[in-house]
Amino acid sequence: MASGRRPILSSTPLQLLLYLNSWYFAAFFLAEVLMFIYKGALLPYPADNLILDVVLLLLYVGLEALRIFYGWKGNLCERCLASSVSVFILLPCAALAIYYLLLQTFVLRLEVILSAGLLCFYMLELLLGVLSISAFSRSKVY
């Protein structure tokens, strides 16, 4: 007889990456704020570009918080929709990481290192997120 138990499909590596990425992004945000203060004070940074970069950073924080929340809940609750939203939000987050890596007015070496680390996290989370979504969608729910 069947005991009524379902196999656990949540991805532990994905959950670990989401947890580590939340701390890494907090450090990234703090470093970016301090670097913007440095750039605004010591470099000939145009005011319009500085405002644009700060607004994009605030948008980035909101998107990243949503992405991590939906990825966390989608993985733990084994929900395809929440995990898919997380993977979908990953694309603009990766675009913003590339912006901070390459397209700012002044890019510091620390920003290159931190943004490259974020992009590595994003690649792994995309791979594990897609694998988790496929596992969730294949499971039989009664």
pLDDT digits (tens, 9 = 90+) for 58-114: 999 999 999 999 999 999 998 899 999 999 999 999 999 999 999 998 999 999 999
Rounded Cα distance, 127 and 68, in Å: 15
Rounded Cα distance, 131 and 46, in Å: 44
The mean pLDDT of 12-29, rounded to a whole number, is 96
Place of tokens 């989370």: 125
pTM comes to: 0.88
The mean pLDDT of 26-55, rounded to a whole number, is 94
